[in-house]
């Protein structure tokens, strides 16, 4: 893995994602190495370089401080094509420094992460206007998570961090996506109950989206687990109604628990 420290010219980019006005990405590349990541497609980075070459935007807090003086206040997605709390953040603290720039301005930070490191910044997040922390969770099976998201926090640690954020008074949510094709109807009540017990009452759901190169990368990641590979292949390519049935059941069970369900895309 190679780390490059670079200077950026802009901090905020306009975002077309639902509910966001801007996106802010302190890093380019991600150490989480999720096998299904779509970011290389969006950024047009060779997939074999993703997670191996990481760029650190050392001056992004300073650039952000200048930009927010003149830009229209709105919701900032942190981050949209990388994880703002990947292991590099523990050293560089760029996400925290960027959040500190927003304290005295009417910008809203919506954080999406797979890392429990976000709890380090609860003190700053509580000083912002309606900050939200959303944890991405695609499966309850940590053995599968270790294969497909090797650099991320464990699933139990994410739920623990989610509860810590909620107990502190932050708005929280779960991004249930991409939902692993191994997820069964029977697991849905447990997923919803764990989410509610952790203090979140909102879940965004998304399916596994096979952009160019993603299926090949998934196959490579799980090539030594024949059963898992077969399950993914069957659910994705043969059971065409798998996700629609799952989504319907999620909505049904969530309504019983007063959990709001939102389709991500």
We report the CATH number of the domain holding residue 240 as: 3.20.20.70
Please give the pLDDT value at position 139: 98
Q: What gap in Å lies between CA 175 and CA 34, rounded to an integer?
A: 15
Q: What is the pLDDT of residue 156?
A: 99
Based on the structure, what is the number of domains in the chain?
Answer: 1
SS (H, E, C) 80-96: CCCCCCCCHHHHHCHHH
Bridge-based pairing of strands 75-78 and 22-24 is parallel
Range of the domain at 163: 2-263
- How many CB atoms are closer than 10 A to CB 121? 22
DSSP for residue 47: T
Q: CB of 85 within 8 A of CB of 117?
A: yes
Report the distance separating Cα 175 and Cα 154, nearest Å: 15
pLDDT of 40: 83
CA 195 to CA 261: how far, in whole Å? Answer: 12
Tens-level pLDDT at each residue, the chain (265 residues): 899 999 999 999 999 998 999 999 999 999 999 999 988 888 888 777 777 899 999 999 999 999 999 999 999 999 999 999 999 999 999 999 999 999 999 999 999 999 999 999 999 999 998 899 999 999 999 999 999 999 999 999 999 999 999 999 999 999 999 999 999 999 999 999 999 999 999 999 999 999 888 999 999 999 999 999 999 999 999 998 999 999 999 999 999 999 999 998 6
| DSSP H helix total and E strand total for the chain | 11, 11
pLDDT of res. 52: 83
pLDDT at position 60 is 99
Dihedral, 109, 105, 62, 84 alpha carbons, nearest 10: -10
Specify the pLDDT at position 5. 98
- With H, G, I as helix, E, B as strand and everything else as coil, classify residue 203: strand
How far, in Å, CA of 161 to CA of 114, rounded? 10
Note the pLDDT of residue 1.
85
Q: Tell me which residue of 51, 123, 116, 57 sits closest to 90, measured CA to CA.
A: 116
């Amino acid at each position: 893995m190679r780390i490059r420290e670079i200077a950026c010219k802009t901090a905020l980019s306009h975002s077309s994602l639902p509910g966001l006005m801007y996106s802010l990405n302190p890093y380019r590349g991600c150490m989480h190495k999720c096998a299904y990541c779509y970011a290389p497609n969006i950024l047009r980075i060779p997939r074999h370089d993703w997670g191996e070459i990481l760029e650190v935007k050392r001056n992004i807090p300073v650039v952000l401080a200048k930009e927010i003086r003149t830009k229209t206040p709105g919701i900032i997605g942190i981050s949209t094509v990388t994880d703002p709390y990947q292991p590099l953040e523990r050293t560089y603290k760029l996400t925290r420094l960027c959040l500190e720039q927003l304290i005295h301005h009417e910008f809203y930070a919506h954080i999406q992460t797979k890392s429990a490191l976000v709890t380090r910044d609860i003190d700053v997040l509580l000083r912002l206007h309606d900050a939200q922390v959303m944890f991405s969770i695609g499966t309850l099976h940590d053995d599968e998570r270790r294969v497909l998201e090797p650099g991320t926090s464990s699933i139990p640690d994410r739920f623990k961090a989610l509860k810590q954020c909620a107990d502190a008074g932050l708005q929280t949510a779960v991004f249930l996506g991409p939902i692993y094709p191994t997820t069964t109807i029977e697991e849905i009540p447990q997923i919803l109950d764990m989410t509610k017990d952790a203090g979140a009452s909102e879940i965004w759901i998304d399916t596994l989206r096979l952009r160019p190169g993603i299926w090949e990368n998934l196959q490579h990641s799980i090539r030594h687990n024949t059963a898992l590979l077969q399950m993914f292949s069957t659910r994705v390519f043969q059971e065409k109604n798998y996700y629609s049935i799952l989504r319907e059941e999620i909505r049904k069970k969530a309504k019983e628990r007063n959990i709001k369900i939102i389709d991500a895309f």
